[in-house]
Structure 1
């Protein structure tokens, strides 16, 4: 059990530190504040480089988003882990990129390709042509790399991991997934259904990927590949944001099947496929006996 939990409050910590520094709620608040502070410091850099404004190219605008989002979330996370938790950020070890990172990329490619293949079999997805000259790099940088690293470090590395230490695996899965789904509610074409679908198919799946592997690179690879395949390759809106893809495509049929204007993520096909993978990961976690009970239950067991 202790191998699953990355951080344990030092036994020598005084009561005020236990509540105001080391408690799960305190560390989540500290991390959010650090993101704001680091983002505030980094925000002036892209304009100085000419990456924003009307004259900026799409690639420069994507680089601006990537710089701010990744720097803010990663630097804030490293400060939290190294200075507050006082441990090595093993979940971000660069040595895991050729293994877990590549596995996540391949998994994301196969996973979303499976979703599109099923939509095609059900008569919902149609290829109308190709666009070899598509400007795919901005979407890869912003929707793939920036979203993959920034959202996974924040949502799985900080929110899910810290919640798991406090309320246990089941509670952390529910809360972090609902938070992740709710964060997409203001996207173009979003509905309560699309947010719930995101919560289940992505929020739960990616949290379980982290729980099983304890590597953020597996989550980053899967998330980035999912977004890249969805937009730049298959030409489907990514969480409501339309981006031109190499394939010129259209989707027909009821919204529950096609996903509507929000994209395939709001389809029951994506929901079903991701839920099956989540179920398999959950079985692995249960067989490993790695499900973390809430902190109050652990205290009763050890006392």
Structure 2
């Protein structure tokens, strides 16, 4: 006897529209705003301080209320709308991929600092033994690593790449990532461009070649923690007191000025080399996603 043939009914037009790249972006950011409002109400109900909270005063509860809306909105986007497993956050990959990202991020920023030191721009004055590690790691490591990577790479890059291809996804996600830092203290037009080019492009291609948010989260977190709590360099414009008591000297184009080493041409050059390596891997694999009008089976017009 032959088994009955299973007939798969394609989704209707409303379902297809709802799962389109534009619709998914709208759904995610709508959910995010809704959950952030709920988290804000919880923040007030718990009597937490309003406005900006210094990094050193941030608690685990505060960071959970900041990250919760992002994680929940992403989980609903993937689980209910996209109806797939969250392969980019697979639990089995968490430990090895996080470790790989942490090592890569720390190594990359340490190479930047070593270059600045060799050029006489980075000077160590001593050691601070009373650094407030917990709050800074929660905000710059856990918060930035998880929250910014889910939004920038997990949502914007991934969905735009699916719809418009890898190059469009890189440009848009990098521009958004740079723009998110435009309102930071001591930000300038150059610092926004530098962040977009060095970190926006690098993390976008890092996600493309690994298909792992764990790697990106680890690299982002280690970059920030190495920069501020360890080397004592301002992180994206926010002044830091690190384990190393340090200061910069020299022209702003070399040191990055008050914004920090992320606005230095040294960081831009070193990150661009790492970006080029990731791009070479993608080209060799043939994994770059073409725009829709260049995909097989696409009819012109």
Trace 1:12-27 onto structure 2 (pairs within 5 A). 12-19=10-17, 21-27=18-24
The answer as to 2:237 corresponding to 1:240 is: yes
The structure 1 residue matched to 2:265, chosen from 250, 263, 268, is 268
Greater mean alpha carbon deviation, residues 253-262 or residues 38-47: 38-47
Give the Cα–Cα distance (whole angstroms) in 1 for the partners of residues 159 and 66 of structure 2.
21
Q: Tell me, yes or no, if the aligned pair for 2:58 and 2:138 is still in contact at 8 Å.
A: no
Give the Cα–Cα distance (whole angstroms) in 2 for the partners of residues 57 and 45 of structure 1.
19
- Report how far residue 43 of structure 1 moved: 2.3
Q: Tell me, yes or no, if the aligned pair for 2:109 and 2:227 is still in contact at 8 Å.
A: yes
The answer as to 2:17 corresponding to 1:34 is: no
The answer for the alignment partner of 2:75 in structure 1 is 78
The answer for the alignment partner of 1:197 in structure 2 is 194
Go from structure 1 to structure 2 and tell me whether the alpha carbon gap of 1:53 and 1:158 turns closer, same or farther (over 3 Å shift). Answer: closer
Give the Cα–Cα distance (whole angstroms) in 2 for the partners of residues 51 and 227 of structure 1.
25
The answer as to 2:237 corresponding to 1:212 is: no
Q: Tell me, yes or no, if the aligned pair for 2:253 and 2:265 is still in contact at 8 Å.
A: yes
Stretches (4+) displaced over 6 A: none
3-state DSSP of counterpart to 1:300: coil
Give the Cα–Cα distance (whole angstroms) in 2 for the partners of residues 243 and 48 of structure 1.
31
Greater mean alpha carbon deviation, residues 289-298 or residues 132-141: 289-298
Give the Cα–Cα distance (whole angstroms) in 2 for the partners of residues 88 and 59 of structure 1.
36
CA RMSD of aligned residues (A): 2.0
TM-score (norm 2): 0.92
- Report how far residue 15 of structure 1 moved: 2.5
Name structure 1 gaps, 5 residues minimum.
1-9
Matched positions, count: 292
Go from structure 1 to structure 2 and tell me whether the alpha carbon gap of 1:57 and 1:196 turns closer, same or farther (over 3 Å shift). Answer: closer
TM-score (norm 1): 0.91
Go from structure 1 to structure 2 and tell me whether the alpha carbon gap of 1:25 and 1:138 turns closer, same or farther (over 3 Å shift). Answer: same
Name structure 2 gaps, 5 residues minimum.
1-7
User: Which has the larger Rg?
Assistant: 2
